[in-house]
Amino acid sequence: MVINAPFQRIRTDFVVVGAGVAGLRAAIELAAAGRVLVIAKDSLRESSSEYAQGGIAAALNDDDEVELHEQDTLVAGDGLCDPEAVRTLVEEAPAAIEQLIEWGTAFDREGARLLFAREGAHSRNRVLHAYGDSTGSEIVRTLRQHARSLEGVAFQSFAAVTDFLLQDGEVVGVWAFDEMTHSTVLIEARAVLLATGGLGRVFENTTNPDVATGDGVACGYRAGAVISDIEFVQFHPTALYVESAPRFLLSEALRGEGAYLRNASGERFMERYHPLKELAPRDVVSRSIVMELRATGDASAFLDMTHLPAGFVRERFPRIYETCLSYGVNLETTQAPVRPAAHYAMGGVKTDLNGLTSLPRLYAAGEVACTGVHGANRLASNSLLEGVVFGARAGKAMRQMTDLHTVSAIPQTPVFPAISERDLRAIAWNSCGVLRNGPELDASHKRLLANFQGAQTSPGRASFELRNMHQVALLISQAALARQESRGGHYRTDFPAKSPAFQKHSLIVKGDDHVAFA
């Protein structure tokens, strides 16, 4: 049985799945080599990149060096960074930033000089911002405008990419589901780039937009691509915790500019957990908040900026200030209630330095990819940089892909999980969240495995998203259960120490029942 047949067929040279920083940067590189179709499942303006507040890091300041940026990234990665990938990132960062400026990105300045800020775990002021806290949005605006000016780049919104088309072991296109027509669309291409962003919606609490359902990781796994380090999820320490509000991210830059973390008694508690206090690595701050809340029984911690000069928060972080104000929190006079929330995936579809996955003709860049840059824990403001640098590298590599012969295609019947999204997200949050342990991971993984249902007669976008979220939750729980140690964003209360035996990358491939480490 097949669904949604007959189907619409589109032919192009290159497909870019995702319209954030990585996808747009790749599309710009591909424009001169053929027709490029950039597709998104929602508005072209809806991506994780749009919500990136913190900034973009590069060793451009007078007192900074590429080697220092490299060292900070390696330290944050907690022993699991790929040194060659990190070196590539930091060496290509200055030129990448200068190119963005040339294309019109308006980074913040003091007079004619670029304004550099410092964020957690950085040893120098090297983080550039745009409009205070709208860095991702400004970079996306620049790249989208530049891509639109190039002949051969087209944009299209579909509801969801559901799977890849494989022929002779190569990825030769994507299947998409068009919500407007409720039909299947086949897009054939000589190379496909995954730039689908993150997976935060798998968790009950997340700073990610609703589109972040792990589609790229799930589709890649089902096609047979190697998934690496998927257990390493970064939980941002400070998401706004107001009952009527979404888990809006309160940027690490706030703490970089002097914000304190306090408990309900008004005590600055971070000094009990780490010598860097509020500027400790994100995973440490997140765990510290959760441990503090468990010890005190409080519902939230509090981010305090009331001691800073009047008008500073409003001028330096206008978007954050206005958003919090709309939910009744004036950051200049009131401490903001905060709790951790899922924020960024360090792992994903394994790639080389040019974005090539383990499947021929399939590339990945940005958060969906696992280049090895972030290791077990991403250094603040390296994510936008990774999207720009490795999006460009993937685009250049894809240009070498030759044309294809006739593609034969029959859409397959997908299997959907028999679980509600609410239950799935609660399971992921409770067992695969900030603090994990073996028995809960094992029980959750078995429960998720038991929740397959079969075909649906009339699936919609929500069904395909739930299918992908379910697959990603299975992968995270499987890898987290196998990694019997604590490292970076992965913390096991039953294995609280790092183990040399696990200073390796986790690898999961469809059809193999166990997690390999290499």
Instruction: Please state the φ and ψ torsions of residue 448, each to the nearest 5 degrees.
Output: -65, -40
Given 282, 393, 425, 487, the catalytic residue: 282
Integer Cα distance of 34 and 63 in angstroms: 42
State yes or no: is 483 an active-site residue. no
Contacts of 484 (CB under 8 A, 6+ apart): 438, 492, 495, 499, 502
d(CA 304, CA 90): 33
377 close to 420: Cβ distance less than 8 angstroms:
no
CA distances from 74 to 17, 62, 71, 92, 139 (A): 29, 22, 5, 16, 25
Locus of tokens 């440490």? 284
Query: Please, what's the b/e burial string for 469-505 (b: 16 or more CB within 10 A of its CB; e: otherwise)?
Result: bbbbbbbbbbbbbbbebbbbbbbbeebeeeeeebeeb
d(CA 467, CA 196): 15
**Which whole-number Å values give the CA distances from 236 to 16, 63, 233, 497, in the listed order?**
28, 29, 10, 21
| Backbone phi and psi for residue 294, each to the nearest 5 degrees, phi listed first | -65, -35
C-beta separation of 289 from 301 below 8 A: yes
- Tell me how far CA of residue 504 lies from CA of 36, 375, 376, in angstroms: 37, 10, 10
Active site members: 282
